[in-house]
Amino acid sequence: MTSLLDLSGDGPFLALVWIAAVLFNSGRLAYDDISGRSPPRPFLFYVSQVISDGVVWSIVGIANSAYSRGLISFVTLIVACLLASGASYLIAAATSTQTPGTRP
C-alpha cells in the first residue's frame, strides 16, 4: 500500500539535489582555498555545509512534490521553504568558524 506522496518517483530528483549540494560546496571550498580564506578545518566545515544544503533542498523538493500532487497548499509550500531555509541559516551560523568578509 502506497501513500499519496509516493517518493519512489522523486529518487532521481533527490539524488540530483544532493549532487548539486556537493558540487556547489566543492566550488565554494575551491574558491575559498584559492583566495586564502579557508577555515581551519575546511573539510569538516564544508561537509557540514553540504549536509545542511542537501537537507534543505530535499525538504523543499519533497514539499514541491506534495504541492504538485495537490496535498498541500501554496502557502504551506512557502512556509515550509522559509522554515527550512531559516533552519539552514541557523545551522550554518552555528557551525561557522570565521566571520564572513574577514580574512584570517
Q: What is the pLDDT of residues 51-97, one digit of tens each?
A: 888 988 898 989 988 898 888 999 999 999 899 888 878 877 776 65
42 in any annotated domain: yes
Q: What is the mean pLDDT of residues 30-57?
A: 84
103 in any annotated domain: no
- Give the confidence band of 3 by pLDDT, cuts at 50, 70, 90: low
pTM above 0.85, yes or no: no
Q: Count Cβ atoms within 10 A of the Cβ of residue 72 and give its class: 0-12 exposed, 13-18 middle, 19 or more buried.
A: middle
5 in any annotated domain: no
100 in any annotated domain: no
Structurally, the chain folds into a number of domains equal to: 1
37 in any annotated domain: yes
Could you count the other beta carbons within 10 Å of the beta carbon of residue 74?
Answer: 8
Q: Which domain holds residue 22?
A: 10-95
Decide: 90 and 52 in contact? Cβ < 8 Å. no
Decide: 60 and 80 in contact? Cβ < 8 Å. yes
